[in-house]
Amino acid sequence: MAEEVVITDEMRGLIGIESTPWIHEVTTTSVRAFARGVGYRDPVYYDIEAAQAAGYRSLPCPPTYLGTPVFIPGQSSETFSGPKDDGPTLEHGLPNLLDGGTETEYLADICAGDTLTASSSIVDLSIREGKSTGKMLIVTRETRCLNQNGELVARQSGQAIFY
Amino acid sequence: MARTWDSFSEGDALPQLTKTPGVSDLVKYSAGGGDFNPLHHDYAFPQAKAIGSIIVHGRFKYACLGELVSNWLDHGGRIENIACQYRGMDLPDQTMTCGGVVKRKWEEDGKKRAELELFVENSSGKNTTPGTARVVFK
């Protein structure tokens, strides 16, 4: 537990810097794996005929799923599967990470067969006092996903809590 | 059957979804989503030891709220926005009840929309994961 977490000018200077764009694939296999991981029983997320009968081009992306980042050994994070070099690094020295919240705005349907290009940036930094964790650094990051036609199809923002 | 605009009113509750994810279920979610943070499967991980247990992924709960809304909508429309906050940790092998209520139903510029308030309640009755969703109908 760090006693003295402060937001420095250097940290603030990282707000708005775009990460390297990274490909997220949405495939029939990846949609099924996600749906299975959540526990869906709805055949629309597993069976292409059922998906087409419900009006989709192919298996639709289950809510909150925005494709699986392409994994390349050495370039991808072993833990989170995204790019290891996900934009500039915040030097805060806090060892523990919790998720604070997530919001996703969908601008269009996303289905198996789509290839999304995701890039993100830090949009806000704040400090909060946790009940059992002491001072926490809250990092809000926004990710934007473009499909293979260059259309913005989703925006996701999330709060990472470091303590 | 796909949800239709005429089939619900403000104040209606969504059919609840209960989940009691064990370690194997959390591993399945990790594989499906690509999040292999040891906090969600490795009891020897220092942060898990400090907490006293591994914990359910916040994103797993978020995805369960997505499933709740998807089941209710049954492809009668599309989710435009879904959000939640992780206010409390959930532990494996504990029952979580996902639910929600229709807060608002309105028509604007020819679009029919509804706003839902969502929750994940733990076995002690605490809402660990309050959320919202906005859906637009076909």
**The total number of residues written for chain A in this structure:** 163
Q: Are A121 and A16 within 8 A, CB to CB?
A: yes
In a domain, B57, yes or no: yes
pLDDT in tens, B43-68: 999 999 999 999 999 999 999 999 99
In a domain, B4, yes or no: no
In a domain, B79, yes or no: yes
Q: Which residues of A touch B66 (CB under 8 A)?
A: 38, 62-65
pLDDT category at A3 given cuts 50, 70, 90 is: low
> Residue A90 is part of which domain span?
9-162
Number of domains into which chain A is organized: 1
Which residue, among B62, B79, B113, B119, would best test binding to A if mutated, counting the most A CBs under 10 Å from its CB? B62
Please give the mean pLDDT across all residues of chain B.
97
pLDDT score for A140: 97
Number of domains into which chain B is organized: 1
> Residue B61 is part of which domain span?
11-137
In a domain, A3, yes or no: no
In a domain, A14, yes or no: yes
Q: Which runs of consecutive H residues, i.e. helices, occur in A41-124?
A: 48-53
Instruction: Say if B110 is an interface residue toward chain A (CB within 8 Å).
Output: no
How many percent of chain A have pLDDT more than 90? 83
pLDDT in tens, B106-134: 999 999 999 999 999 999 999 999 999 99
- The interface predicted TM-score (ipTM) is 0.97
In a domain, B63, yes or no: yes
Instruction: Find the helix or strand (DSSP H, E) in which A118 lies.
Output: strand A115-130
pLDDT score for A133: 84
How many percent of chain A have pLDDT more than 70? 98
Q: Looking at residue A38, which CATH number applies to its domain? A: 3.10.129.10
Residue of B nearest to A130 (CA): B87
Residue A1: pLDDT over 50: no
Cα–Cα distance for residue pair A57/A36, rounded to 1 Å: 20
pLDDT score for A134: 87
In a domain, A110, yes or no: yes
In a domain, A4, yes or no: no
In a domain, B93, yes or no: yes
How many percent of chain B have pLDDT more than 90? 99
Q: Looking at residue B50, which CATH number applies to its domain? A: 3.10.129.10
Q: Which of A74-83, A135-144, B20-29, B77-86 has the lowest mean pLDDT?
A: A74-83
In a domain, B102, yes or no: yes
In a domain, B41, yes or no: yes
